A and B are shown apart, each in its own frame.
Chain A
Amino acid sequence: QLQLQESGPGLVKPSETLSLTCTVSGGSISSSSYYWGWIRQPPGKGLEWIGSIFYSGSTYYNPSLKSRVTISVDTSKNQFSLKLSSMTAADTAVYYCARHGRGDPDAFDIWGQGTMVTVSP
């Protein structure tokens, strides 16, 4: 079955750019039925959607993060990636990649296990 796996550094310095990759296995990222998204969860807090991408490269972002976020897709590697610039302590969180439907239903139905990212000097 389809699985998602996040990868990237667990520690980032303040002001640096976070780069994470999500690898999709057991299925194709080039599906016309799904978007691929990033969601984060600060320690002890709730979920925050960061942004999503379609296999064609079409993106949409959380307005509160839009100025710092870039999401890209590499269909040849069945991967999509997140870049978040100007990191601060407030960006410390578990970062999840997930698939969601395009249209109805549109829920995030498959999630990666998450990767903890800490921002510290």
Chain B
Amino acid sequence: KQEVTQIPAALSVPEGENLVLNCSFTDSAIYNLQWFRQDPGKGLTSLLLIQSSQREQTSGRLNASLDKSSGRSTLYIAASQPGDSATYLCAARVTGANNLFFGTGTRLTVIP
């Protein structure tokens, strides 16, 4: 069974700092990997989707990378802002499976 891990569970950074969130997975036979943002008491907002054939995806200040051979994905946030404070979840879709396998998330706090 696919296991997805996100470390650290929580991270605090001062505003303006660049930061990297980590996601690791045990089964490299993934089809794609999706990064989500979850605000307290809210649903999940999709940030980036990386297909297994891709190495990275970019959207604005966000850049996600995927390295299947090492079982890792990273989400890079440039010039962090207080509005980036949220929990970030990664989820892997294994080839042939019907569900996403989620990590438990990294709670990010950006301090003004």
Is this pair of chains taken from one and the same complex? no
